[in-house]
Amino acid sequence: MTMPIPPKKVPSLWARILDSDILASFLRSKVTMVAALIVLLLFIGAAFSPWIAPTNPFDPASVFLADANIPPAWQDGGDPRFIFGTDDQGRDLYSAILYGLRVSLVIGGLGVLLAATIGITLGLLAGYLGGRVDALIMRIADVQLTFPAILIALLIDGVVRGIFQHASREDTALYVLVISIGLSFWVQYARTIRGSTLIERNKDYVHAARLVGLPAPLIMLRHVLPNVIGPVLVILTINLALAVITEATLSFLGVGLPPTQPSLGTLISIGNRYLFSGDWWIVTFPGVTLAILVLAVNLLGDWLRDALNPRLR
């Protein structure tokens, strides 16, 4: 009878972050701190939009057509009730942006989480099991990698509408978008996780766990996963920015969220119609919000990648 060797204790992720010089590098970079602050503010604004926003732009009964196309409050003809002005239906643009931000972040976030879940699962399987499973998954990944999210989303949208011709876009758009983003972004996670799993699988603690007779799923989740999850954080951050852009683009192309429940992309798409007619604020404020959000998230992602990969610093 052999003595079971206890699996190596893995320090928690948070502990490792504090332990490393990541925090120090964060405190050194002013740009990163500003970006983090902006992201935090936008997240809070989105999360608490029903309480922060003066009106609910998703409730048609509370929107009055008579208030349409009012310029921002500081301009001639502005109205103090609408700090950023109103859109073509009389919605308060400030409220619409907060709600739209929430929609965009929820879709982007859920999409990226779905992608990460699919990617991590398949990556673990491929790396740990190897052989035919590995070859199959990686071949699918190769092909999938070349299909951009836009194309997948458009196809899914077309098929969904072909099947449910009467379904309201309000009901289907969210799922279509989340699934499309999930299905198109998973490859990066799978490849990263597979790579690190291939290394981890030959380490002593995994051998030990296998000798003890622990089932493979348990080994993968309890022992391998915590050791390979680090780089996923970087991808998550950068992907969130991409996902938000993807959502905005699809809404702009008219296959995203309907104008009755506008995301940032839908608001930009609506505003685009008024760009030449002088109502510049309808496209400008949502556009600037989107750009700032993506820029800040990208800066955070850049910094995180450099911090985890000191060679490039």
Partner 1 sequence: MKPRFLALAAALIGVSALALGVAEARPLKWAAAGDALTIDPHGQNEGPTTSLNQHMYESLTERDHAGKLGPLLATSWRVLPDDPTTWEFKLQDGVKFHDGAPFTADDVVFSYERAMQPTSDFKGYLTSIEKVSKVDDLTVRIKTKGPNPLLVNNTSSIRIMSKAWAEKNNAVKAQDFKNKEENFAVRNANGTGPFVLVSREADVKTVMKRNDAYWNKAKVPLEITELTLVPIKQDATRIAALLSGEVDFVQDVPVQDIARLKNQPKVRVTSGPENRTIFFGMDVASADLKGDDVQGKNPFADKRVRQALNMAINRPAIQRVVMRGESVPTGIIMPPFVNGWTKELDAAPATDVAKAKSLLAEAGYPNGFSTTLHCSNDRYVNDEGICQAAVGMFGQIGVKVNLVSQSKSIHFNLIQKNPAETEFYLVGWGVPTYDSDYIFSYMYHTRTGSQGSWNATGYSDKDVDGMIQSLSREVDLTKRNATIASLWTKLKDETIYLPIHHQSLSYGMNSTLDIPVDVANNPKLKMVSFKGS
Partner 2 sequence: MLAFILRRLFQSLLVMLAVALIAFTMFRFVGDPVNQLVSLDTPAAQVAEIRRSLGLDDPVVVQFLRYIYNAARLEFGVSYQFRLPVISLLGERAPATLELAFMSALFSLAVGIPMGVYTALRRDSWLAKIFQAVSLVGISLPTFLIGILLIYLFSVTLGWLPSFGRGDVVKIGSWWTTGLLTGSGWKALILPSITLGLFQMTLIMRLVRAEMLEVLRTDYIKFARARGLKTRAVHFGHALKNTLVPVITIAGLQLGSIIAFAIITETVFQWPGMGLLFLKAVQQIDIPIMAAYLMLISFLFVSINLIVDLLYAAVDPRLRATIGAH
Q: Which residues bind partner 2 (CB under 8 A)?
A: 139, 142-143, 145-148, 150-151, 154-155, 157-159, 161-163, 165, 241, 245, 248-249, 252-255, 265, 268, 272, 275-276, 283, 287, 290-291, 294-295, 298-299, 302, 311-312
3-state helix, strand, coil in the chain (%, to 5): 75, 0, 25
CB-wise, 184 or 197, nearer to partner 2?
A: 184
Q: Shortest Cβ distance from residue 199 to partner 2 (Å)?
A: 16
Number of residues in contact with partner 1 under rule CB under 8 A: 31
- Burial (CB count <10 Å: 0-12, 13-18, 19+), residue 259: middle
CB-wise, 47 or 68, nearer to partner 1?
A: 68
CB-wise, 136 or 167, nearer to partner 1?
A: 167
Considering CB distances under 5 to 8 angstroms, the limit depending on partner class, which of partner 2, partner 1, none binds residue 52? none
Q: Which of 143, 172, 178 is nearest to 158 (CA)?
A: 172
Write out the DSSP string of 233-277: HHHHHHHHHHHHHHHHHHHHTTSSS-TTS--HHHHHHHHHTTTTT
d(CA 8, CA 215): 17
Task: Tell me: does residue 272 bind partner 1 (CB under 8 A).
Answer: yes
Q: How many CB atoms lie within 10 A of CB 129?
A: 15
Considering CB distances under 5 to 8 angstroms, the limit depending on partner class, which of partner 1, partner 2, none binds residue 213? none
Q: Shortest Cβ distance from residue 34 to partner 2 (Å)?
A: 13
Q: Which of 137, 244, 279, 289 binds partner 1 (CB under 8 A)?
A: 279
Q: Which of 303, 295, 252 is nearest to 38 (CA)?
A: 295
CB-wise, 114 or 268, nearer to partner 2?
A: 268
Site string for partner 1, 65-104 (x = CB under 8 A): xx-xx------------------xxx--------------
CB-wise, 62 or 117, nearer to partner 1?
A: 62
Q: Which of 20, 118, 144, 161 binds partner 1 (CB under 8 A)?
A: 161
CB-wise, 7 or 258, nearer to partner 1?
A: 258
86, 64 in Cβ contact below 8 A? no
CB-wise, 177 or 220, nearer to partner 1?
A: 177
Q: Report residue 131: phi and psi, to 5°.
A: 65, -140
- Burial (CB count <10 Å: 0-12, 13-18, 19+), residue 295: middle
Q: Which of 8, 16, 81, 273 binds partner 1 (CB under 8 A)?
A: 273
Considering CB distances under 5 to 8 angstroms, the limit depending on partner class, which of partner 1, partner 2, none binds residue 159? partner 2
d(CA 142, CA 140): 5
Q: How many CB atoms lie within 10 A of CB 48?
A: 12
- The amino acid present at 179, given as its one-letter code, is I
Q: Report residue 86: phi and psi, to 5°.
A: -130, 165
d(CA 273, CA 249): 15
Q: Shortest Cβ distance from residue 95 to partner 1 (Å)?
A: 15
Q: By the criterion CB under 8 A, which residues form the site for partner 1?
A: 59-61, 63-66, 68-69, 88-90, 161, 165-170, 254, 258-260, 272-279
